[in-house]
Chains A and B, each alone.
Chain A
Amino acid sequence: MEADRVIETVSLTKNYDHHRAVNSLSFEIKEGEIFGFLGPNGAGKTTTLLMLLGLSRPSAGYSRVCGLDPLRKAREVKRLVGYLPENVGFYADLNAVESLEYVATLNGIKRAEASAKIHELLEVMGLSQDAHKKVGAFSRGMRQRLGVAEVLIKDPRVLFLDEPTIGLDPDGALRLIDLIQSLNRDKNITVLIASHNLYQVQKISHRVGIMIDGKMVAEGSVQSLAEAKFGVGEKEYSLEEVYMKYFREV
């Protein structure tokens, strides 16, 4: 069952000065799962993702991504993981195609192969019209779409998405959610999605984790969390009700 675990953290801790951003966090995500990562602002979600990518050094504990240590095998981990940062940035004077080409070369993708992929991804993300526009002139949502395209160009096995639907119009958000779901279904990509949009998270996640003050206070399917708090009953609770219940209790 070892190989099944795509992500595993053991007592992962991160201290900033005297503040504990992530407090002895232990959880795991299985292959092919969509895991919704919830929590109020400043709970430590982004910090956890950064530690899983080896961009931030844990103060204590360790983590494994696809069985690899992100600190020692950073490059191998990054080959497998596509990370969409919460405020994704771009080189303002490149256009959409050039931005994608740069990411492709950084991933060692051959030119010919890359250009076909770029074309396809721009199509999927609804950016074909703006392919040759400078990213500096992109709107917030267009940048977010391009960010997703950049993540997908390397054919990741695992996706870390930090607020992926932020800034997207309702149609764009819906499509992205569908896209994530189909990637998960068709290519068996494991997804870790940090978001404040409980409705979207509930729609696609197999399991959710609620993190408050650096601690995972609850973890499991929405149904099982609801049962744990409200008892077994006829009523189907929404993730929002469950989340608020946990949030108020802490």
Chain B
Amino acid sequence: MQGLYAVFSKELRDHFSSYRFVILFALIAMVSFITSYMAGVHMKGNLEALAKTRFPFLTLFSTPGAVLSMVQFVAFFGPLIGLVLGFDSINRERADGTLVKLVSQPIYRDAVINGKFLAGVTTISIILLSIVLVISGFGLALVGTVPEVEEVWRIFIFLVISIFYISFWLGVAILFSISLKSIATSALASAALWIFLSFFVSLGADVLANTVAPVDNSKETEPATIIKNLKIKEMVSLCSPMVLYTDATATIMDPMRNTISIVSIVQRERRPMEKLLSSRFQNPLSLGQSLIVVFPYMIALIAITFICFAISYLIFMLQEIRT
């Protein structure tokens, strides 16, 4: 424990005093200001109109401001925080010759990666928490609404899911920094995996779905084929942590949606009347119901985070450390 705490507090101090943290934080603060300002302005107009939004506070996070909403922004670029905090965590020490010194002290070897991982997670949590507080403060000032208790809970759950999501990428970065000796290579490898899983998996899902169950727009296609096509797309997309994250946060931050399956949304979209009705008169899902809907996605996200960490752990424990 003493070793874990020593490594943890040193790493945390390093993170907070590094330029890279300052740059990351400035970048994120800027983006969250812009998105929440845009969302706030947009919503102010809405609130003055007749149709009031049910959860004005959540809208601050889930309405696209300039380009992306806050939720989308975390989905797209949150992984970068994890990658930047972790890509050189072990191999820089190896290159500097401090790793062998560290592991020849009377601490358990896993204290080194546990300490680093926890320090990264703490840094991520502090970054995210401060963004959420900034946006909320902004919302209070700009829109003049006080969040309901339920909204506070939903934002809290969003925060927890986001921390897990970004921690997964921290774990990926640490894994690469353990298994690859060169810092440049581990940076590149983790960025490549991020781009692949976030952007190319959905492309691949399209291709696969259209090959297995081709849907031709010019001809009538059997409904069964369309559904099969969509199902395949959905299954393959789930390999992407970004999709998992988006699905996990969707119903939490947007309670008017009661499902996250593309299939059912599309099916509903085929009947315009019903769509109108549902958006007009549908009641939002309760918090408990929302949790049930997103639960599997949350669990999947947490599971891949732990799997990734477990692999790092195994490799590191068996690795020979010469420098």
Interface set of A (CB-CB < 8 Å, partner B): 46, 50, 53, 55-57, 74-76, 78-79, 81, 83, 85, 87-93, 102-103, 105-108, 150, 154
Contact = CB atoms under 8 A, between A and B. Distances in A.
B101 A78 contact: no
Interface residues of B, number: 26
B147 interface: no
Contact of B98 (A53, A56, A74, A91): A91
B109 interface: yes
Contacts of B320: 50, 55-57
B105 A78 contact: yes
B107 A55 contact: no
Contact of A88 (B2, B101, B105, B109): B101
Nearest to A103: B105
Contact of A55 (B2, B7, B104, B108): B104
B323 A90 contact: no
Contacts of B6: 102, 105-106
A55 B103 contact: yes
B106 A75 contact: yes
B292 interface: no
Q: Would you list the 8 A-B pairs with minimal beta carbon distance, nearest first?
A: A89-B97, A79-B106, A106-B105, A105-B6, A89-B98, A78-B106, A89-B96, A83-B104
Nearest to A98: B10
B104 A78 contact: yes
B193 interface: no
A55 B107 CA distance: 13
Interface string B86-101: 0000000100111111
B101 A85 contact: yes
Nearest to B109: A74
Given A85-B323, A89-B101, A106 B107 contact: yes
